[in-house]
Structure 1
Amino acid sequence: MRFIIPLLVLSAYCSAASAALGGAPTDFGAKDSGRQVRSLAASKNGSSYNVTESTLSSGTVVKEYAAAGVVFAVSWKGPSMPDLQTLLGKHGETLNAQAARKPKAGNSQVSVNQADVVIHSGGHMRAYTGSAYLPSELPAGFTADDIQ
């Protein structure tokens, strides 16, 4: 019994820290006590998906698009950058590698366009935006233009 409680605490922590993009939907920003969450069911051209919108205490809005138990796209917009490592999961390293190749002077736009992931991130202080999606996981009829 004395091992069960620490195991439950550890498993809860691990599930909250699991990757969002390409993984099961998470409770993004769960540690942010001031956040607000709204979930919507949506459909387009016969395919259905869920959109979970989290407004963080900073005012940044994060959306996770999921179908068949997999987050296939995410977007963010607001005054501060969300935790992209958590939001992008293993694809966060791809974004970091691309950002490291860019000159640092005045350009905060970073784009990754690979077969397995597409990421766009940019903005300036108090106005950050971005989106990421997995082309192979997009539901039928859903396009990158549908990510808001």
Structure 2
Amino acid sequence: MTVQLVLPRAIVEKMGTVLARAGRREIGGVLMARQREPGAFEIVEFSVDELSGQRAHFVRDHAYHNKFLGAFFDKTGHDYQNFNYIGEWHSHPELPILPSVTDIESMEGLVNGERDIPFAVLLVVRADSPNEFVAVATFHQRGTVPEPALLDIENIHVS
């Protein structure tokens, strides 16, 4: 199954802002999406933990992100058919944007673990300068090998 992840311009600009504030520290969070059609998901919101990241390591604070998830589902009327968790994101400032072995193992633990999450996307991003935004996404599904996700960055113009 090929999965497409759509990043609207407003999401890219918002990510660019938080990435600039973080500087050389890794940051990240969860990605929330709406399904446009089977296999195509548009990111509509994301959480960001700007405090716990280090130079080359990020582990999200579960309590913070659980509050974010609760607020998101309240805002969308708990319409899980249209709006739901799609995965995780984090930055790799001044590093390759390919997922690390730790990143892959973490995502595989998520979809093959006890949380009943059948699939998820990992988005790794970098914006080391005001005009840069590069990203790569991988699709992780229970019982299968991770594969690249198609990434559609709509109307990109980061200033």
Bigger relative contact order, structure 1 or 2 (CA pairs below 8 A, ≥6 apart): 2
Task: Tell me if both proteins adopt one fold, taking TM over 0.5 as the criterion.
Answer: no
